[in-house]
Copies of this chain bind each other. A is one copy, B any other.
Amino acid sequence: MANLVRMDLIEKKVRASFAKQGLMSTLGAQMTTVGAGAVEIRCGFDAKLTQQNGFVHAGVITSILDSACGYAALSVAPAGSEVLSVEFKVNLLAPAVGSAFVARALVKRAGKTLTICSADAYAVNADGEKLIATMLATMMNIGAKAS
């Protein structure tokens, strides 16, 4: 899908959009990888991101999963498109305990209007990574003609 556009231009567009997300900065999140249909976002542990047990809140993990899915979709969207989240489902598989958290999204099917992504989130610890959550999301391409 991305074969007519140089991947470095796509990465630039994706990273420029990510940089505008005030929430990602508030969460201390960084976009660590951008490929065609594949995006990784990381954030570190911070007490300001917790739920009542001191684990990182499901809403934080969902936020990085959602942004990762959205940008994975954007990386394969028609030129000039923007991407909005239509819906997503998240299963929380283990408490978000770790020094950092990483969300990795992949495009499962890219359509003209809708793109379906799946993403997994991992807690990073001294022993490595542990799967803590998984998302299945529907993203929508908008504005391709207007741009």
What residues make up the interface of A, taking CB atoms closer than 8 Å to B? 17-18, 20-23, 25-26, 46-53, 56-60, 62-64, 66-67, 82, 84-95, 108-109, 113-114, 116, 118, 131, 134, 136, 138, 140
Contact = CB atoms under 8 A, between A and B. Distances in A.
A58 B66 contact: yes
B62 A49 contact: no
Copies assembled: 4
Given A23-B48, A134-B118, A93 B113 contact: no
A87 B25 CA distance: 26
Nearest to A111: B93
A134 B134 contact: no
A91 B136 CA distance: 8
A115 to B, nearest CB: 10
Contacts of A109: 93-94, 131
A37 B11 CA distance: 38
A85 to B, nearest CB: 5
Contact of A86 (B82, B88, B131, B138): B138
A131 B46 CA distance: 32
* Most chain B beta carbons < 10 A, residue from A21, A23, A109: A23
